[in-house]
Amino acid sequence: MTTEVDFYELLECERTADDATIKASYRKLAMKYHPDRNAGCKDSEGRFKAISEAYDCLKDPQKRAAYDRFGHAAFRNGGPGGGHGGAQDFGGFSDIFENIFGEFMGGERGGGGRSGPRRGADLRYDMEISLEDAFNGRSTEVTVDVSAVCETCEGSGAKRGTSAKACTTCAGHGKVRAQQGFFVVERTCPSCHGAGRVIADPCGTCHGEGRVERTKTLTVNVPPGVDEGTRIRLTGEGEAGLRGAPAGDLYIFLHVARHPLFEREGTTLLARAPISFTTAALGGEITIPGPDGEQHHIKIPAGTQHGRELRQRGAGMPVLQGRGRGDLVVRIEVETPTKLSARQRELLEELRATETGAETPQSAGFFQKMKGAWG
């Protein structure tokens, strides 16, 4: 199970830190670990993902309050606060400057425009599937509680028959400017919170937000070959945006349940097969059923030793969004009999009486070395 690191520890801040302190720490760490500055370094990429997820939560007052109360559980299965759940898309290195300094240099990317209503939050849903589902793929339904567009006002937030008006504080721009010495500082309008418009007569159903809480049932198509942690993105199925803004996305994170027979390493399936010592000595054949129900016949060469691995090409997991399959690797475990009949014991005694040491060269060589070591 993946260890979840505390968001405050990731950002190297105290839990009592104010917004400015958290933002300053994020700037420093994001600059340090951005993938464009650490090309090919998986550790840096993972650290950047983690601190971006942490900042995305702690910069939002509602998400931070939910995290302070519930911890990481606040964002599981579409829980309170939504959150990106680790899903992060990386732009170019210039993007980080725009994200960090955008509030002081014109707001949105593209420079100086009105910010408009805020896009809905992305949501995370953790779903467990069987190895057979991962092999064959499946279509299933998930139920999530999410903010959806208010049908009464059609997402506008205004009472039916009325409409939002341009904010008088910012003249509809969503931002206000203030002169400070030689500098002009631009910040989000405190009256309309960046929307550029205000609602004088809000909708009675959504109270002016343009969205309400709903339970949605969605169909998820799981393709063959998925692995632990595979992420499926459902575009526009996250939280509805504020007052008609675009909806966020829903990310389905897949977890493959432990299988009683197989372990998995990428597209390779691993299985342990106990066999009798007579089969190991004389050779034979065993049958392994695959996740798709296909029977795989594995030949055991005579003289097979404990721990030997036998590989069946093309009998493993499908390649995700590709062609072909991995391999099936069977690890042989030679089982020594513990209950023998009188006749079986007699036959083994006869076998032992005929042994010369040539039948088991490793054993003979070991004891010969022991004799040499002790003179």
In angstroms, the CA 297 to CA 295 distance is 6
Q: Which amino acid does the sequence have at 201?
A: D
**Residue found under tokens 């499908």:** 318
Q: Give the span between the Cα atoms of 305 and 15, in whole angstroms.
A: 58
Instruction: Check whether 57 is labelled as a binding-site residue.
Output: no
Q: Are 247 and 241 in contact (CB under 8 A)?
A: yes
Cα 61–111–234 angle (5° rounding)?
55
Residue 206 in marked binding region: yes
Residue 74: CB atoms within 10 Å: 19
Q: Return d(Cα 309, Cα 271) in angstroms, integer.
A: 10
Cβ pair 244, 118 in contact under 8 A: no
13 annotated ligand binder:
no
Q: What is the CA radius of gyration of the chain?
A: 31
List helix spans (H) across the chain.
Answer: 7-10, 19-33, 42-58, 61-70, 93-101, 131-136, 277-282, 342-354, 361-373
User: Residue 198: in which H helix or E strand, if any?
Assistant: strand 197-198
Q: Any binding-site annotation on 41?
A: no
Q: Contact, 292 vs 225, CB < 8 A?
A: no
Could you tell me if 205 and 150 are in contact, meaning their C-beta atoms sit under 8 angstroms apart? Answer: yes
- CA-nearest of 67, 91, 96 to 79 is 67
**Annotated binding-site residue numbers for Zn(2+):** 150, 153, 167, 170, 189, 192, 203, 206
**Annotated binding-site residue numbers:** 150, 153, 167, 170, 189, 192, 203, 206
